[in-house]
């Protein structure tokens, strides 16, 4: 009950006209940042951080967190319209969102994405409001072995549910691991696979790989298919929003599952990116229309967006309660807290009640404001596709190049982006899935780190991955998912073997 009173007090702090204006500005800036590939939430917040030094801490965090929500919303826009994820966690949104746009259903896809984002965030905020201390304790249980288990589960769910040959998925993932290994080896402090090159010291940035693999490669195949884009007949009616909402109700199970995955990954702090991938893979596995995933299934937009937003929101919880950021953007916000003279950590909830509850209240309000803003703009966004393709391709190419450059202010990255583009195009032609590759680049080094840290602690014994119920159950679940295609195949084989009627097995 005390929480509810504190929350209401928080609303009264957040709901001043000044703060509402800041919210709107923050959301709009965030959407722009989310749309521009490469700029990213973390960079955006870092650039705008100095602007907030003259504000009170509460107003400052309201504006910055609204930039964060805006970036979360905005990431979906370019993913759906152009197959270019503006943010790492929007990669999974491209899988079904972009095919929908190609079929002229961009407005539906956008509405679904925004609404799902909102639902995910709302559930996560409610969780933060009432369960913060409890969850903070749970997050402490996560040591290296537990982290590895979570990443393993993400990888396994992807291989287990991949369309086409699982071997191609594994090959693609291994290529990703190799690319992810370039740079400094955190565990020994020595350089790997840099071949004495200065440019490779920092390794391959995930964003550059994604802009190339998805954006550039997509443009190459579009150009090949004759410079036409079926999305140009996109409807521009606001009523689409209402129609889409009705159809979304059918996917309540997917929404709930994605919320749980998202909250869990955000708190632990696995982050929004693995959450979106895992949620997509599981939705595909459990959906009745699983085979249509990747061809423009609305459920394939709902799942990753819900999870990403839930994770992105709950990632702020470990930052507030433990002082460890659950995402790079949270890390920059953490820096902001210190500059405003606040010490993040277990004492924040006690010493800075006004600030914490003001922030939590702004999470509710910021997301409502954000949803209204982006939904009213859906027709506008969808209308972009009416611009002739021959005009829009060069524009996107330039935006991609600027984005790739912005990541590290480095010209070499633009060449890398083009290289990844060619690689993506070739892999697509050869029917290798790109998602496992991207997943491995993002999570490969983190998984490796967890694995080696755990083994260091256990003196090299693998039993550490089954040393308690938490890590043991995640690992076992991961193994089951990994071998699920094999198990399904074996079962059907046995059945056909015994019954002799293949048709009976399908029944």
Binding site for other proteins (CB under 8 A): 36, 39, 42, 46-47, 49-50, 53-54, 140-144, 183-191, 194, 198, 201-203, 318, 322-325, 328, 331-332, 334-335, 338-339, 341, 343-348, 402, 406, 408-409, 449, 453, 456-457, 459
Closest distance of CB 147 from other proteins, Å: 10
User: CA 387 to CA 395: how far, in whole Å?
Assistant: 11
CB nearer other proteins, residue 20 or residue 49: 49
Closest distance of CB 322 from other proteins, Å: 5
CB nearer other proteins, residue 346 or residue 485: 346
CA 251, 484, 165, 76 dihedral sign is: positive
Q: Is 185 left (phi over 0), alpha (psi -120 to 50) or beta?
A: beta
SS3 183: strand
Among residues 489, 79, 483, the alpha carbon closest in space to that of 300 is found at 79
Closest distance of CB 275 from other proteins, Å: 19
User: CA 258 to CA 112: how far, in whole Å?
Assistant: 14
Residue 301: count other Cβ atoms within 10 Å of its Cβ. 34
CB nearer other proteins, residue 104 or residue 472: 472
Cβ distance 51 to 32 under 8 Å? no
**Residue 263: both structure tokens together:** 């909250």
Closest distance of CB 143 from other proteins, Å: 3
143: Cα within 13 Å, side-chain hemisphere: 16
Which helix (H) or strand (E) segment holds residue 185: the answer is strand 183-185
Closest distance of CB 119 from other proteins, Å: 29
Q: Which residue has the tokens 């998202």?
A: 262
User: CA 427 to CA 29: how far, in whole Å?
Assistant: 35
Closest distance of CB 328 from other proteins, Å: 6
Closest distance of CB 164 from other proteins, Å: 35
Strands 190-192 and 183-185: antiparallel
User: CA 181 to CA 175: how far, in whole Å?
Assistant: 10
Angle at 14 between CA 89 and CA 53, to 5 degrees: 75
Closest distance of CB 177 from other proteins, Å: 18
CB nearer other proteins, residue 198 or residue 463: 198
């Amino acid at each position: 009950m005390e929480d509810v009173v504190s929350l209401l007090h928080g609303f009264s702090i957040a709901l001043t006209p000044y703060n509402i204006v800041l919210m709107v500005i923050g959301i709009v800036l965030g959407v722009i940042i989310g749309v521009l590939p490469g700029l990213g939430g973390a960079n955006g917040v870092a650039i705008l951080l100095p602007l907030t030094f003259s504000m009170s801490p509460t107003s400052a965090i309201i504006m910055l967190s609204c930039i964060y929500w805006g970036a979360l919303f905005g990431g979906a826009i370019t993913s759906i319209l152009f197959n270019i994820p503006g943010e790492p966690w929007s990669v999974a949104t491209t899988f079904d969102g972009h095919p929908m746009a190609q079929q002229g259903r961009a407005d539906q896809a956008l509405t679904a994405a925004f609404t799902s984002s909102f639902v995910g965030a709302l559930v996560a905020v409610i969780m933060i409001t009432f369960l913060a201390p409890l969850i903070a304790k749970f997050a402490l249980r996560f040591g290296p072995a537990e982290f590895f288990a979570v990443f393993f589960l993400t990888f396994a769910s992807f291989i287990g549910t991949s369309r086409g040959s699982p071997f191609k998925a594994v090959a693609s993932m291994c290529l990703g691991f190799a690319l992810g290994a370039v740079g400094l080896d955190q565990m020994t402090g020595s350089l790997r696979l840099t071949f004495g090159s200065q440019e490779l010291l920092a390794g391959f940035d995930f964003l550059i790989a994604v802009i190339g693999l998805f954006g550039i490669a997509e443009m190459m195949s579009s150009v090949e298919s004759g410079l036409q884009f079926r999305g140009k007949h996109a409807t521009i009616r606001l009523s689409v929003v209402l129609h889409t909402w009705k159809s979304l109700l059918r996917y309540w199970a997917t929404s709930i599952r994605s919320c749980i995955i998202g909250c869990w990954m955000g708190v632990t702090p696995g982050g929004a990116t693995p959450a979106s991938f895992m949620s997509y893979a599981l939705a595909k596995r459990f959906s009745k229309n699983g085979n249509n995933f990747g061809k423009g299934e609305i459920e394939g937009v709902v799942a990753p967006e819900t999870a990403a937003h839930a994770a992105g929101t709950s990632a702020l919880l470990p930052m507030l309660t433990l002082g460890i950021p659950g995402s790079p953007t949270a890390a920059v916000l953490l820096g902001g807290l210190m500059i405003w003279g606040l010490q993040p950590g277990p004492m924040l909830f006690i010493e800075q009640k006004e600030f914490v509850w003001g922030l939590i209240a702004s999470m509710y309000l910021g997301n409502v404001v954000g949803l209204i803003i982006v939904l009213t703009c859906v027709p506008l966004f969808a209308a972009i596709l009416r611009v002739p393709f021959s005009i829009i391709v060069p524009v996107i190419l330039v935006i991609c190049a600027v984005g790739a450059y912005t990541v590290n202010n480095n010209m070499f990255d633009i060449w890398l982006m083009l290289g990844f583009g060619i690689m993506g195009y070739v892999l697509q032609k050869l029917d290798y899935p790109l998602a496992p590759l991207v997943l491995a680049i993002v999570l490969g080094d983190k998984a490796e780190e967890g694995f080696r840290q755990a083994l260091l602690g256990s003196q090299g014994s693998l039993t550490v991955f089954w040393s308690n119920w938490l890590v043991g159950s995640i690992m076992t679940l991961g193994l089951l998912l990994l071998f699920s295609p094999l198990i399904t195949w074996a079962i059907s084989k046995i059945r056909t073997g015994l019954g002799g009627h293949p048709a009976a097995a399908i029944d």
